[in-house]
Amino acid sequence: MILAFDTYYFDDKAKTVCLAFNNWQQPEVEAVFTEVLNNIAPYTPGEFNKRELPCIISLNNKISYSSIDAIIIDGFVFLDDNKKHGLGMHLYNALNQAIPVIGVAKTNFPVLKKIKDLY
C-alpha cells in the first residue's frame, strides 16, 4: 500500500487527508482518510515538522494496513545540502525508519541547490 498525505490549515485547525493506493500503477484511489485537529502550532520557517508531523502521525495511527510500501508527503525530507532534517525525515524517524518517506515539494527550499546549479 502507498499512502499520500497532505494537510491544509484554517484558523487554528488542520485537516489532513490521506489517499491510499494499492501500487504505483493504480490510477484510482483505493481509500481516502481524513481528520481535523484543533490547536495547531503556528508555522515557523525551517520547522514545518512541528506543525504538520503531529497531524500526519495522528491520521496514520488510525489507518491499518498490514503492509505500507511508502508514504508520500508534501514537503522536504532534507532542508539543505547538509541533510538537515525536514518533515520527511522526522516522519521517517517517527515511524522507526520502517517505511520509506518520499517528499514532493512544489517550491525549492531556499538553502537547497537547484538542479540546474548542479550541472
DSSP string, 16-40: EEEEEESSTT--S-SEEEEEEESSP
Partners of 78 in beta bridges:
85
DSSP-derived secondary structure letter, 113: P
Contact 32, 40 (CB under 8 A): no
Q: So what's the pLDDT on residue 119?
A: 43
Partners of 104 in beta bridges:
none
pLDDT in tens, 41-77: 888 776 778 889 999 999 999 998 889 999 999 988 9
Domains of the chain (ranges, CATH numbers): 2-118 (3.30.2170.10)
Quote the CA–CA distance of 25 and 48 in Å, as a whole number. 30
Kindly give, in sequence order, each residue whose CB lies less than 8 Å from that of residue 107, ignoring residues fewer than 6 positions away.
Answer: none
